[in-house]
Chains A and B, each alone.
Chain A
Amino acid sequence: MEHVIKLLIVDDESRFLDAIATRLRKRGFDVKTAGNGVDAIALARQEKFDIALLDLKMPGMDGGEVLQSLKQEHRFLEAIILTGHGSLESAVQLTKLGAFSYLPKPYELDKLIETLKDAYEARLRKKFAADEARMQKILAAGQAESPLSILRTLRELDDGER
């Protein structure tokens, strides 16, 4: 069975949440959503996610806090910050806190998928840091053209290695 990349999307904007979940599911991702930081952390404890997409500005816990909490509990989880805030400094700050990358809203879906691919790659690189042969394959997969096809290859590599 093909491994499905599991995504956790956290945003206080429910319409946005619904729409992006719909679109990513159509593209083969396993998507779960949370409307705030507390729900997100609870959800992450119930099931394992590969990548979390976090909104930066949220009532209650903000993206930074959720990020720190998630990274603490899940070593291999990669996080991508989605933010409408134009400030670059907070993004840099969050990268230091362990976020893989950040995307300013609104973004192109292709750009998001590209970033998801990179994040997933990073996750695998970490996971199989010692395995040179797998590393080579991962690098070879990077030569392919479409981000989606690369993802497919990577999923195969990741299969069963959670």
Chain B
Amino acid sequence: MTLAPVSRSTAAGESRHYRELFRHTLSRQILLYFMPLLLLAVFFHIQYRHLLRESARAHLAVIAEQQAATFDLFLRERLTNLANIIEDPLFTPHARDEAYMSVRLATLQQTSDAFADLGVVSVDGQLVTYVGPVTFPEGVNYHDEPWFAELLAGEDRSLITEIYLGFRGRPHFTIAVKRARNGSVQVLRSTLSPERLAEYLATLEGASEVHAAVVSATGILQVAAPRGGSALRDSRFSPPRQPARGIMPQDRAAGVPEYAYAWLRETPWALVVTEAPNPAGGGIAAFPGNIFGITVAFFALMGVVILGRARQLVGKQLAVEHHEAELSGQLVQAAKLASVGELAAGIAHEINNPLAVIAEEVGVLKDSLDPALVQEGDPPIDLPEHLHAIHEAVFRCRDITRKLLGFVRQTEVRVERQDLHAILDDVVDGMLGNELTISSITVVREYDPTVLEILTDRNQLVQVFVNLVKNAVDAMPRGGTLTIMTRHLEDRVAIAMRDSGCGIPAAQLDQIFMPFFTTKEPGSGTGLGLSVSYTIIKTFGGTVRVDSAPGHGSTFTIELPYHPS
């Protein structure tokens, strides 16, 4: 038997079918569950980032503002400190007293260690008295210094310079106050140490979260905290004058990060803060990272669940398919048995008739032996003639039972080369020949001689033809013509059976292939014939089609591949 390779390829086909089904189910599940989740995750992630960004910016702006206010206050205090000295009535008498000034400096430094020294400058710019760490060469005169001229000319009584090198050659701030008294002007100046100011800046609120810097209106860096970037250099920051405080977006081209700024009141400086990179990696900035991790973990979990679910679904699907195939197989078997039942009634007639012949012939012979019935002058009985009739009838019965068995016996599928026309002839001449004759149906054969041999299971195909022919017979109760046509079509063969019967109403056309659909009286038809024929042809990889109109007969057309796949 050549069934083994068939079953092997079926197993391979099954595993391929499983993989395909699994892939489909999995991708469907992923699309169904992952895609919305992913979109949602991305959406929330972006929203969250945006919110975080906004809150960080607001935070930065608040820090800039607070630090600016505090720094402003600090500078004002320093100016007040100096003003207090110059306003002291004792100042004028001691203007040239170094000891007095040393005591004043000590007091100043107690207030703030930013004060480095103290000097009294006469109205012509001459440094009159100086106490502090710097040893100046003789004859320091500020007359040509911009700050000195500005202070004398300006309305403001005090001034803080931008950071500059000055006479001492080191970056520092000069803080100076003037006092006009008795027609003469006195100026008291001090130096603010950039280091101390930087230290101070580093102690302000929020200093740990940011890099803070003080820049001049021209963007020159004054002080930075934590120490970074050297003073006197261009800070790259150029906050606008208006509004007085705000956030400047990142400028990648200039290499300037996003920063918040607030202008000071005492000096034309701006306090600039940028977000300090978080060394610990924690806090709010790193939170999205966590979310990403959690999301990935969640997706992985979902993936496992979906994988499991897909497996389960595919398992169920396969079970259903298997069950369906089993049912369909059972249906074919049931229909076979049912059609055997239908056949049996017809076959009973075929057998009972020769039996009746036998009974009568035997009766004639018995009569000839019965003295009561034998009369004088009766012609002698033709014994061989009667025996021959009996013999003939017996073998008619045997042929019928043989045919019936041939129809039912083989349940296994046996695919072999078959001559289609021989099968058709067998059905209309042999099995159903008597029925067709009795029903006064003429069979017209329009066979296409180019039709090739077909690879098929003879019994199942016979079952289909028997069903179709029997339907045709039922459709022509008053006799008619059954035309059987075959046609060679490249890789297929078409078999058409046209009856001249009553036809099928359009409303029933799409029902006739359904199991248990029958137009016959209850008990006389099972409604399985066509549905089983349909199933069989489908398993052969073929198609069944019906064209019919009431009163114009029906044509059933089967198309079969020469080689079922």
A residues bordering B, Cβ < 8 Å?
A: 13, 15-16, 19-20, 22-23, 26-27, 57-60, 62, 82-87, 89, 104-107, 109
Contact = CB atoms under 8 A, between A and B. Distances in A.
B524 interface: yes
14 contacts: A13-B353, A19-B363, A20-B360, A23-B367, A82-B356, A84-B349, A84-B350, A84-B351, A84-B355, A85-B352, A86-B348, A87-B524, A89-B521, A105-B359
A13 B524 contact: no
Nearest to B381: A22
Contacts of A86: 344-345, 348-349, 352
Given A84-B349, A104-B352, A106-B352, A16 B373 contact: no
A106 B356 contact: yes
Those 10 A-B pairs whose CB atoms lie nearest each other, nearest first: A84-B352, A19-B360, A105-B356, A86-B348, A106-B359, A106-B356, A84-B349, A85-B349, A106-B355, A84-B353
B363 A84 contact: no
Contacts of B353: 13, 16, 84, 105
Contacts of B344: 86
A26 B369 CA distance: 12
B275 interface: no
B398 to A, nearest CB: 16
Chain B CB within 10 Å, residue with most, of A19, A27, A60, A82: A19
B3 interface: no
Contacts of A15: 357, 360-361, 389, 393
A109 B363 contact: yes
B440 interface: yes
Nearest to A65: B478
Contacts of A82: 356
Given A15-B389, A23-B367, A26-B373, A57 B357 contact: no
A83 B440 contact: no
A92 to B, nearest CB: 12
B343 to A, nearest CB: 11
B15 to A, nearest CB: 51
A119 to B, nearest CB: 19
A23 B437 contact: no
Contact of A58 (B358, B360, B363, B438): B438
Nearest to B353: A84
Contact of B373 (A27, A59, A83): A27
Contacts of A57: 349, 438
Contact of B356 (A26, A62, A84): A84
A77 to B, nearest CB: 23
Contacts of B389: 15, 19
Given A15-B389, A83-B352, A84-B348, 7 more contacts: A16-B353, A19-B364, A20-B360, A62-B438, A84-B356, A85-B348, A106-B360
Contacts of A105: 352-353, 355-356, 359
A104 B364 CA distance: 19
Nearest to A17: B360
B341 to A, nearest CB: 11
B523 interface: yes
A33 B346 CA distance: 25
Nearest to B360: A19
B358 A106 contact: yes
B438 A19 contact: no
A104 to B, nearest CB: 7
Contacts of B346: 85
Nearest to A105: B356
B487 to A, nearest CB: 31
Contact of B345 (A87, A106, A109): A87
Interface in B482-539: 521, 523-524
A23 B393 CA distance: 18
A75 B231 CA distance: 141
A103 to B, nearest CB: 10
A159 to B, nearest CB: 23
A23 B237 CA distance: 136
Contacts of B361: 15, 19
B130 to A, nearest CB: 141
A19 B348 contact: no
Interface string B460-487: 0000000000000000000000000000
Nearest to B373: A26
Contact of B438 (A16, A20, A26, A59): A59
Nearest to B389: A15
Contacts of A89: 521, 523-524
Interface string B101-140: 0000000000000000000000000000000000000000
A19 B355 CA distance: 13
Interface in B419-443: 437-440
Contacts of A20: 360, 363
A108 B77 CA distance: 144
Contacts of B363: 19-20, 23, 109
Contacts of B364: 19, 22-23
A83 B373 CA distance: 27
B373 to A, nearest CB: 5
B357 A16 contact: yes
Nearest to B374: A26
Nearest to A16: B357
